[in-house]
Structure 1
Amino acid sequence: MTESLSLKPDLGRFGVWTMGPVKPDQAAEIERLGYGAVWVGGSPAAELSFVEPILERTETLQVATGIVNIWTADANAVAESFHRIEATHPGRFLLGVGVGHPEHTDEYRKPYDALVEYLDALDAAKVPTSRLVIAALGDKVLKLSARRSAGAHPYLTTPEHTAHARDVVGETVFLAPEHKVVLTTDGAAARAIGRETVGFYLNLSNYLNNWRRLGFTEEDIAKPGSDKLIDAVVAHGTAEAIASRLQQHVANGADHVTIQVLGGWDKLLPTLTELAGPLGLKG
């Protein structure tokens, strides 16, 4: 077992989370705006072939996976991809791994043990813990992320969860929560857009259990999700109001906050452009 003894990775204060890879020219604009990283979700394949085109088009932007699914991406193949990327773009790729959802994986049994085995395989393949993070919500996996990787990448959470996660993992561990945003002052429209995405997770036990731990009621987490729940996990309003919500994660201990823009790809760059100023980025 490899213990995480390294310094935290530096991805800047804010990054961008997307369901699938951004185009290289989009990545270049994200870098110009001052965001430090692009996190690619959607359980990317082990080959990670999208990473190099983004890194080749940018100079300092980092790419992270949010996350590689341990059930669908072979650990040895992922390790080979990591070393291929690291050889040409050292220090600019962060490997995020996780167990996904039991409801969507036929082989999903004893996920914690499977995750430990996956981390053992990455260790054996010499993937450094300093460039590895783990998707984590509950205390058991948060503690595992602190022991076996650079830190945790909690998804679909709140600043209150960030504060709790920081208490669990300690001060020296990297913590990078994700938060969704809709740039509109029309609250009803924002919640409708939020529900289009959040609704997918209202059948998934790991998220439901996490929301229960955060104090949400059964009525809150029943489909289509209460206004209270949607407002907690989807920031909306003016750019300044959204930035204030994102900064709450930082105040509660986040090292890096990953921003997922909802409403379609055409909203991505305009929203990030509007947020850059209130977030204090160079853009």
Structure 2
Amino acid sequence: MTPKLGTIGIWRWTGGLDAELAAEVERLGYGTIWIGGSPSGDLEIVDTLLDATDHITVATGIVNMWSDDAATVARSYHRITAKHPGRFLLGVGVGHPEATQQYRKPYETIVSYLDELDEAGVPVGDRALAALGPKVLELSAERTAAAHPYLTTPGHTRWAREILGDRVLLAPEQKVVLDTDPERARAAARPAVNNPYLKLRNYVNNLRRLGWADEEIADGGSDRLIDELAVHGDAEALAQGVRAHLDAGADHVCIQALPMDADPLPTYRAVAGALNLTG
């Protein structure tokens, strides 16, 4: 059975997660902690977060297929689920071509990796796949329990749901900035969006597919693009940004609080309150 994600989760880079933060996120009513930044295949951070909590799900968003082989990751999966059954979702993905000289035939690599996870006994219901384009979205529906798009918009969520139908959970990431001053909020968001994502062709191609012109993607992104990729404002504005994905067909939305080097808890608390997560 697929781990329960809840409706709202948080996405945070590996180095910004610890036991204390996990316990507070669970107390606030979030359903899942997504571990970003390509966590290592030993997945020791997953043990740390699950040991510190009672019921929240932990997911990887994502383990990079080029960095860790499927056999290593499968052993980590079995270790984790033996101790914490039903609370871990293994998210995997092929990353982006600029990250590795080995990046060749990415679709075939994904299929082969999923085949190896099958052989190692990692159930389809316990895994998710990073997915942006139509082929990989289709593959996520065929071979995993959840599609996990990153750096997307509600428009992408609507389009992805049309491709997926009701065959798989759709769990996009949404960046948020708790700040009502637009210029200050964009200054906090733009570095996290621009570097590296607006320089990576899979993300740029996805934005083009959604109708964004090259001049809006260039030079750190237009204000309009930044505002959609990183919703800003008060707690209710952030909640509306999350609801836009749910209204477009998402089953679950994980928020990434920006700026990355700031304490995320004020944002988590504000969004949890606006969405009544503990109610």
Following superposition, the deviation at residue 264 of structure 1 comes to 3.5
Using the TM superposition, give the Cα deviation of residue 173 of structure 1 relative to its aligned residue in structure 2, in angstroms.
0.9
Report the RMSD for the aligned CA atoms in angstroms: 1.1
**Distance verdict in 2 for CA 1:13–1:36, change over 3 Å:** same
Pick the aligned partner of 2:197 from 188, 197, 201.
201
Instruction: Please state how far the C-alpha of 1:151 moved relative to its aligned partner.
Output: 2.0
Q: Deviations over 1:106-131 (max 9, x none)?
A: 10000000110000000000100101
2:217 pairs with 1:221:
yes
**In structure 1, how many angstroms separate the alpha carbons of the residues matched to 2:49 and 2:84?**
11
Give the aligned partner of residue 233 of structure 2: 237
Could you say which residue in structure 2 is the equivalent of 1:162? Answer: 157
- Does residue 114 of structure 2 align to residue 119 of structure 1? yes
Query: Aligned residues, how many?
Result: 277
Instruction: Give the match's secondary structure for 2:251.
Output: coil
1:34 matches 2:48: no
2:11 corresponds to: 17
Percent identity, aligned pairs only?
56
CA distance in 2: counterparts of 1:147 and 1:264, whole angstroms: 34
Q: TM-score, structure 1 length as denominator?
A: 0.96
Q: Distance in 2 between matches of 1:267 and 1:57?
A: 19
- For 2:249, the aligned partner's letter is G
CA distances 1:148-197 after superposition (whole Å, capped 9, x unpaired): 00020000000110011011011131110000000000101111111110
Q: List runs of 5+ in structure 2 lacking aligned partners.
A: none
Q: Which whole-Å CA distance do the structure 1 matches of 2:275 and 2:251 have between them?
A: 14
Q: What residue number does 1:95 align with?
A: 90
Counterpart residue number, 2:270: 274
Q: Which runs of 5+ in 1 are unaligned?
A: 1-6
Instruction: Provide the TM-score with structure 2 as the length reference.
Output: 0.97
SS state of the match for residue 63, structure 1? strand
Alignment correspondent of 2:131: 136
In structure 2, C-alpha distance between the alignment counterparts of 1:264 and 1:121, rounded to whole Å: 34
In 1, Cα distance between equivalents of 2:115 and 2:175: 32
- 2:186 paired with 1:191: yes
Give the conservation status (yes or no) of the 8 Å contact 1:162–1:253.
Answer: yes
- Give the secondary-structure state (helix, strand or coil) at the position aligned to 2:274: coil
Distance in structure 1 (CA, Å) of the matches to 2:39 and 2:105: 22
Matches within 5 A, 1:39-78: 39-78=34-73
Deviates more, 1:217-226 or 1:262-271: 262-271
- Tell me how far apart the structure 1 counterparts of residues 259 and 175 of structure 2 sit (CA, whole Å): 10
Please tell me whether the aligned partners of residues 8 and 172 of structure 1 are also in contact (alpha carbons under 8 angstroms).
Answer: no
Partner AA of 2:213 in structure 1? T
